[in-house]
Structure 1
Amino acid sequence: MPVPVIRKNLYFKPDSSRVVARFFNNGDSRTINLVKRIMTLNEEDVRHELEIILNEFRGRHRNIAEIYLKHASNYKNLIESIGINFEELSPERRLLIGSYSTLEYSLEAAALFNPSIVEDFDQSFLAEGEKRVILSFRATGEGHLSSIVFRKGILDASNNLRMVEPQKHIDLPTIIKKKSHNKKRFMEKMEEMNIPKEFSTPIMNDLPDMFEYYTLKEAVRKILTLDVNEPQRKALKEMTWLVNSYYDIEFHKDSKISGRAILPISSSESRGIEDARFVRFTEDDGSETIYATYTAYDGFTILPKLLSTKDFVNFRIMPMHGNGAQNKNFALFPRKINGKYAMLARIDGVNNYIFYSDRITLWNDPIKIQEPKFPWEFTQIGNCGSPIYTEHGWLLITHGVGAMRRYCIGVSLLDLSDPTQELGRLKEPLLSPLEEEREGYVPNVVYSCGSLIHNNQLILPYAVSDYASSYVTVNMDDLLAELKKT
């Protein structure tokens, strides 16, 4: 018997007006010619042209002049290479150069989908039965480039979601590269990536046990200037790719969470940040951290990565490693199990696996726990976010792919102390695409990256055919009763 699902009349749709000002590099040669043209203008003409640009774009970005100056400074060495002293340029001329080095990028032009939801740390000034929540979305813009964006809202006592109006001005964070790396762990990750030791060892032998980020970058850069063969060049670039995968980001504290966006930063993410699964994790000492697993994609290679934050202002980003750190669909359990971190993944593209680890970034020896069982999931089964703790077991929201690549959402119940044991599993999908939900960027899909329980109801945000998002509620008594039958 199907479990009753209540669809809520709230939709999150892409908004092409939400733009961010990004650095635009048109190549050294064209930039040099551009700067030479700007240098032909006298100071009065520079001020005139700059005023036109500022009048047109200052209302769309709260700190556009600061952005222009930052982008102009990226070309300081290039400008000085043609005999121009960058520091002697007037502030107005630098601003004008920066404006030509900037473009607007619409984060959500194509889609706002694959949502995840977590409880906010701040639960102050709420009525009885309310809960403040943060939703994350995969925002997709031009070129199918995916980023992470956020929204904040309040679930009322009836689980109706009241959203805070999203901020129009979007801020990019300050990027802070990790300064030092553990050589042993770095070499282990290179081995997992099949970087030949014959190419990596000569560089690594000269580095201390804890080496600086720029030390490796400089060593690789010097060798790349030599006459190296293509396999060696590829290996050296992969080493740089790996070291670039570790970084911190920091947003302005005075920005609203809806005005913060995490765009691809490292080369491992150059083609997108996909399907972040956020979870509020409780440590053994009771402290809490928000983690998110996501897929970094550079057009060729998939790298599972981990993001952590305690305030949604400062974020740490790290790659995951181990023999199981491959493919997609990683989802962290919200607490340790028998003293170890636990993670779900679909490492072979078909089945659900679980890992246990003493380190939150190291994942070896996956154990298969679920295979496709019913026709609607015969192609593959995977998670739809982190498992949710209940006294009856771990509630696992799954996705199944069936005929015509139709995605549906299912539910399983796993044993609390031994999640390899499945206690129950719905025979029919909990959620399937309705007729009006079948059209989108990818037709016939409903999908989620995380849910929670509030007021004895499952709150399940979901994507509609990789275009927009909505959410449903499900009574937990009804859901658990059906799961226990199966």
Structure 2
Amino acid sequence: MLQATFINRRALYLRPDPGRVIVRPFKPATEPRDLNPTDKTRANHIVERVLNLDSQAAAAQLADVLENFQGRHRNLLKTFELRADEMEEALLAHTTFSEVQRQLIGAYFLHEYSFEASALFNPSIVPHPDQSGIPSGSLRFILSLRAVGEGHVSSLTFRAGTIAADGSIRVDPTARLATSPRITHRTTGPSGDEVDVVFELAPDISERVIFPLTESQSNGIEDARFVQFSDGGRTIYYATYTAYKGTAIRSELIETADFLSFRMTPLQGTAARNKGMALFPRKIDGRYAMIARQDNENLYLVYSDDLYRWEGGQPVLRPQFPWEFVQIGNCGSPIELEEGWLMLTHGVGPVRKYSIGAALLDKRDPSRVLARSREPLLRPEPSEREGYVPNVVYTCGAMTHNGQLILPYAVSDTYSNFATIEISALMRSMA
């Protein structure tokens, strides 16, 4: 099997950093209440112990907590107060609290979570909504990444960077702090919760971490495929992702205009039951279009008049070459070129080895496959074979700039890197 010669790996390694932490609610296990309805939970016991401290001891304990953790988080006292507000059930049995007591109680019901301790992978890339102040010919971008921490829980995090006119890539330094968003609205419907969130105290995009917020996401927000979507002069960013609750998966949609406020919505319909959906960057003949994998093996084209409901679909791509005999899937939203829709794919071959390929779809009728790569564009090199899941290269989306395909990709489900590809050479390589 030949490696494509027009791939340029950039050695911009984005590796997981266990030093980046957010605070999460800590919920002590409750004791059996059995026959006695007056039994107290562990939470009640913790609250009582705090209230039994005299005022000086409580203030000293709170000061010690702040000395240990203040530099690791923004507005920590406010976070303690908000957590105390959520613990009202444990506080109801007690009468009055001082401000110090409430803040200290909040601290006892939080813990730090190292959200990217294990992995930082499966990236996608889109143009940044703010292109001001950069050199001529350059492009600022936003990179989304899947971060994995303790318990293999996946969250969504971001980086920003710039592609220069000459094709060189720079990823901005990562902020020291990390922050979760505030939930501004939650609606429970027949298909699950729709949630609106906003980041109020995270000026740097690399601070923003979207941790699972609903039951369907409780074990992970996985593999977001972001796309810059144009509709009648309006631009919005959408991403399909896999919501995983430990026993079941489903496709959901996140949308944002500024990467500060986000809405997360479950997708409905028979075509949304699997993972790996990717939205086209514009409507086709007045309808939304999606590439989906409904049967764990082939790729389907699905149209819909409703962005949040997807039914049916027709198969457009099946495994054909040895490196993809096990299954194929998409690697992000199709990219519009003069020649057609460029769709990056992943293929699984012998010994469950993942490689990245491509197909070219007709611009007017994406069900027509014009060409596809007979050999992988990118496959694990010897230095990329070791990791949490060996022998995997994977991406959730690329973009173009100055005749090049900018391809962030994950290495063995552990860390991420970049490659660039000359689009003209890529077109010549496909049959």
Deviation of the 1:35 alpha carbon: 1.0
Is the aligned partner of 1:17 residue 2:19? yes
Deviation of the 1:77 alpha carbon: 2.7
Is the aligned partner of 1:67 residue 2:79? yes
What is the distance in 2 between the residues matched to 1:316 and 1:10? 31
Q: Secondary structure at the match of 1:324?
A: helix
The equivalences for 1:83-482 within 5 A come to 84-85=94-95, 88-179=96-187, 186=190, 242-243=191-192, 245-252=193-200, 255-283=203-231, 285-482=232-429
* Kept after mapping to 1: 8 A contact 2:202/2:208: no
Deviation of the 1:301 alpha carbon: 1.2
Structure 2: which amino acid aligns with 1:71?
R
What is the distance in 2 between the residues matched to 1:251 and 1:171? 8
* Kept after mapping to 2: 8 A contact 1:294/1:306: yes
Deviation of the 1:10 alpha carbon: 0.7
Deviation of the 1:23 alpha carbon: 1.1
Q: Tell me the alpha carbon deviations over residues 258-303 of structure 1, each in whole angstroms, 9 at most, x when there is no partner.
A: 11111100000111011000000000x1111000000001111111
Deviation of the 1:254 alpha carbon: 5.2
Deviation of the 1:468 alpha carbon: 0.3
Q: Secondary structure at the match of 1:359?
A: coil
* Kept after mapping to 1: 8 A contact 2:146/2:224: yes
What TM-score comes out, normalization by structure 2 length?
Answer: 0.95
Structure 1: which amino acid aligns with 2:387?
G
Deviation of the 1:126 alpha carbon: 1.5
Q: Secondary structure at the match of 1:59?
A: helix
* Kept after mapping to 1: 8 A contact 2:398/2:406: yes
Deviation of the 1:253 alpha carbon: 6.0
Aligned to 2:91: 79
What is the distance in 2 between the residues matched to 1:56 and 1:384? 43
**Structure 1 stretches of at least 4 aligned residues deviating more than 3 Å after TM superposition:** 177-181
Structure 1: which amino acid aligns with 2:7?
V
Aligned to 2:33: none
What is the distance in 2 between the residues matched to 1:460 and 1:250? 29
* Kept after mapping to 2: 8 A contact 1:152/1:163: yes
What TM-score comes out, normalization by structure 1 length?
Answer: 0.85
Q: Secondary structure at the match of 1:58?
A: helix
Deviation of the 1:255 alpha carbon: 2.2
Q: Secondary structure at the match of 1:14?
A: coil
Summarize the Cα distance change of 1:3–1:426 in structure 2 as closer, same or farther, 3 Å threshold.
farther
